[in-house]
Amino acid sequence: MKESKTTRRLANANKDLKVMNARDEIAEITRKLNDMSSYAKTPETVSEMVEMEKRLVQLRQELVSSMSRTMKMPK
């Protein structure tokens, strides 16, 4: 069954929105990490920073996989 133009446009818009949200979240986490790195480290802040780094890695992987699906690689 052929998908309609509207369905494709909605899917593309949704994908674009996810990419923008991921980029925004990456920027926000990076900013927080930079701020946190300037003050004294406690076990709580270190564990929070580790969790933020894990989330950054996950977001970047999602972003790369999302972008690689949209780009057509020549054969």
Q: From first to last of its 75 residues, what are the pLDDT tens digits of the chain?
A: 577 888 888 888 888 888 889 899 999 999 999 988 887 788 888 899 999 999 999 999 988 887 776 665 555
Crossing angle, helix 5-36 and helix 43-70, to 10 degrees? 150
Distances (CA, A) of 15 to 18, 27, 33, 75: 5, 18, 27, 24
If you search the block for the tokens 């996989």, which residue do you land on? 65
Contact 45, 53 (CB under 8 A): no
Torsion angles phi and psi, residue 15, rounded to 5:
-65, -45
Contact 36, 49 (CB under 8 A): yes
